[in-house]
Amino acid sequence: MGELRAKLGIKSKKKPTTLRMYQENEKKTLEIEQGSFSSKEPWYVQDVDSNRAYVMLSKEQLATLLGALKKAQEESFKLSLERDIFQQMPIDFEDVWTVAIAEAQKYSTKTLSSISTKDLVRTIKHEHPNLFFEINDLFSHGGE
Protein backbone atom coordinates (compact mmCIF):
# COMPACT_ATOMS: atom_id res chain seq x y z
CA MET A 1 0.00 0.00 0.00
CA GLY A 2 2.88 2.36 0.78
CA GLU A 3 4.33 1.72 -2.67
CA LEU A 4 1.04 2.73 -4.27
CA ARG A 5 0.95 5.96 -2.27
CA ALA A 6 4.54 6.74 -3.30
CA LYS A 7 3.77 6.18 -7.01
CA LEU A 8 0.76 8.47 -6.76
CA GLY A 9 2.80 11.06 -4.85
CA ILE A 10 0.50 10.98 -1.83
CA LYS A 11 2.09 11.44 1.58
CA SER A 12 -0.93 10.54 3.71
CA LYS A 13 -0.14 8.02 6.45
CA LYS A 14 -3.76 7.00 7.00
CA LYS A 15 -4.49 3.31 7.21
CA PRO A 16 -6.55 2.00 4.31
CA THR A 17 -10.27 1.71 4.73
CA THR A 18 -11.36 -1.90 5.03
CA LEU A 19 -14.56 -2.94 3.31
CA ARG A 20 -16.46 -6.19 3.20
CA MET A 21 -18.94 -6.93 0.43
CA TYR A 22 -22.16 -8.73 1.18
CA GLN A 23 -24.47 -10.28 -1.39
CA GLU A 24 -28.09 -10.54 -0.57
CA ASN A 25 -30.49 -11.40 -3.42
CA GLU A 26 -28.08 -9.90 -5.99
CA LYS A 27 -27.84 -6.66 -4.00
CA LYS A 28 -24.26 -5.89 -3.05
CA THR A 29 -23.47 -3.83 -0.01
CA LEU A 30 -20.13 -2.44 1.03
CA GLU A 31 -19.72 -2.04 4.75
CA ILE A 32 -16.89 -0.05 6.34
CA GLU A 33 -15.14 -2.21 8.92
CA GLN A 34 -12.26 0.11 9.70
CA GLY A 35 -11.27 3.64 8.67
CA SER A 36 -13.33 6.38 7.07
CA PHE A 37 -13.86 8.13 3.78
CA SER A 38 -12.62 11.58 2.93
CA SER A 39 -13.93 13.60 0.02
CA LYS A 40 -10.64 15.46 -0.35
CA GLU A 41 -8.31 12.49 -0.84
CA PRO A 42 -8.41 9.24 -2.77
CA TRP A 43 -9.77 6.34 -0.74
CA TYR A 44 -7.51 3.35 -0.21
CA VAL A 45 -9.53 0.20 0.15
CA GLN A 46 -8.18 -3.16 1.26
CA ASP A 47 -10.20 -6.24 0.25
CA VAL A 48 -10.08 -8.43 3.35
CA ASP A 49 -10.82 -11.62 1.39
CA SER A 50 -8.20 -11.31 -1.37
CA ASN A 51 -5.88 -8.82 0.39
CA ARG A 52 -5.87 -6.71 -2.79
CA ALA A 53 -5.56 -2.94 -2.52
CA TYR A 54 -7.78 -0.53 -4.46
CA VAL A 55 -7.93 3.22 -4.87
CA MET A 56 -11.32 4.88 -5.13
CA LEU A 57 -11.64 8.41 -6.45
CA SER A 58 -14.52 10.85 -6.44
CA LYS A 59 -15.90 11.84 -9.84
CA GLU A 60 -14.14 15.20 -9.56
CA GLN A 61 -10.81 13.59 -8.66
CA LEU A 62 -11.14 11.18 -11.58
CA ALA A 63 -11.92 14.06 -13.95
CA THR A 64 -8.85 15.92 -12.68
CA LEU A 65 -6.67 12.84 -13.10
CA LEU A 66 -7.96 12.17 -16.62
CA GLY A 67 -7.47 15.83 -17.53
CA ALA A 68 -3.87 15.70 -16.33
CA LEU A 69 -3.25 12.50 -18.29
CA LYS A 70 -4.76 14.03 -21.44
CA LYS A 71 -2.61 17.13 -21.04
CA ALA A 72 0.51 14.98 -20.57
CA GLN A 73 -0.41 13.01 -23.69
CA GLU A 74 -0.82 16.25 -25.67
CA GLU A 75 2.53 17.56 -24.43
CA SER A 76 4.23 14.28 -25.35
CA PHE A 77 2.67 14.41 -28.81
CA LYS A 78 3.78 18.01 -29.34
CA LEU A 79 7.35 17.29 -28.21
CA SER A 80 7.55 14.27 -30.50
CA LEU A 81 6.10 16.27 -33.40
CA GLU A 82 8.53 19.12 -32.80
CA ARG A 83 11.49 16.73 -32.82
CA ASP A 84 10.34 15.00 -36.00
CA ILE A 85 9.72 18.30 -37.80
CA PHE A 86 13.22 19.55 -36.97
CA GLN A 87 14.75 16.26 -38.14
CA GLN A 88 13.27 16.85 -41.61
CA MET A 89 14.90 20.30 -41.85
CA PRO A 90 11.97 22.69 -42.31
CA ILE A 91 12.45 26.01 -44.03
CA ASP A 92 9.94 27.59 -41.66
CA PHE A 93 9.11 25.55 -38.56
CA GLU A 94 5.88 27.45 -37.83
CA ASP A 95 4.47 26.72 -41.30
CA VAL A 96 5.14 23.00 -40.96
CA TRP A 97 3.80 23.01 -37.39
CA THR A 98 0.53 24.62 -38.53
CA VAL A 99 0.08 22.06 -41.32
CA ALA A 100 0.95 19.18 -38.95
CA ILE A 101 -1.57 20.27 -36.29
CA ALA A 102 -4.28 20.66 -38.95
CA GLU A 103 -3.49 17.18 -40.29
CA ALA A 104 -3.49 15.66 -36.79
CA GLN A 105 -6.92 17.15 -36.13
CA LYS A 106 -8.27 15.22 -39.12
CA TYR A 107 -7.66 12.03 -37.13
CA SER A 108 -10.43 12.84 -34.66
CA THR A 109 -11.23 9.15 -34.18
CA LYS A 110 -7.66 8.39 -33.09
CA THR A 111 -5.92 9.25 -29.85
CA LEU A 112 -2.84 11.41 -30.12
CA SER A 113 -0.65 8.57 -28.89
CA SER A 114 -1.76 6.43 -31.85
CA ILE A 115 -0.64 9.01 -34.44
CA SER A 116 2.89 8.45 -35.69
CA THR A 117 4.50 11.87 -35.75
CA LYS A 118 7.30 10.57 -37.99
CA ASP A 119 4.79 9.33 -40.56
CA LEU A 120 2.79 12.55 -40.27
CA VAL A 121 5.85 14.72 -40.97
CA ARG A 122 7.01 12.45 -43.82
CA THR A 123 3.57 12.77 -45.42
CA ILE A 124 3.69 16.55 -45.08
CA LYS A 125 7.18 16.62 -46.59
CA HIS A 126 5.98 14.47 -49.49
CA GLU A 127 2.85 16.59 -50.09
CA HIS A 128 4.50 19.97 -49.40
CA PRO A 129 8.20 19.64 -50.36
CA ASN A 130 8.47 23.44 -50.57
CA LEU A 131 8.28 23.58 -46.75
CA PHE A 132 11.58 21.70 -46.30
CA PHE A 133 15.20 22.03 -47.31
CA GLU A 134 16.43 19.34 -49.66
CA ILE A 135 20.05 18.38 -48.94
CA ASN A 136 20.79 17.31 -52.51
CA ASP A 137 19.59 20.66 -53.86
CA LEU A 138 21.77 22.55 -51.40
CA PHE A 139 24.95 20.76 -52.48
CA SER A 140 24.23 20.49 -56.20
CA HIS A 141 24.05 24.27 -56.61
CA GLY A 142 27.26 24.84 -54.71
CA GLY A 143 29.50 23.75 -57.59
CA GLU A 144 27.97 26.02 -60.22
Report if residue 101 sits inside a domain: yes
Q: How many residues does the chain have?
A: 144
- The answer to the question of residue 63 being in a domain is no
pLDDT of residue 116: 94
pLDDT tens per residue across span 51-102:
888 888 888 888 988 999 999 999 999 999 999 999 999 999 999 999 999 9
61 located within any domain = no
CB 14 within 8 A of CB 36: no
Asked if pLDDT for residue 23 goes beyond 80, the answer is no
The pLDDT of residue 107 = 82
Rounded to whole angstroms, how far apart are CA atoms 68 and 70?
Answer: 5
105 or 33, which is more confident?
Answer: 105
* pLDDT score, position 11: 58
Q: Please give the residue range of the domain that contains residue 27.
A: 2-56
Structurally, the chain folds into a number of domains equal to 2
In this predicted structure, what is the pLDDT of residue 135?
74
87 and 45 part of one domain:
no
Residues 51 and 112 in one domain: no
Same domain assignment for residues 51 and 73: no
Q: Is residue 64 part of a domain?
A: no
- Helix then strand count (H, E) for the chain reads 5, 4
Give the C-alpha separation, 15 to 46, whole Å: 10
Residue 84 sits in the same domain as residue 39: no
pLDDT at residue 16 is higher than 80: no
Q: Is the pTM of this model over 0.85?
A: no
Q: Verify that 43 and 94 share a domain, yes or no.
A: no
Which range among 102-106, 116-120, 121-125 shows the weakest confidence by mean pLDDT?
102-106
Residue 118 CA, chain-centre distance (Å), reads 19
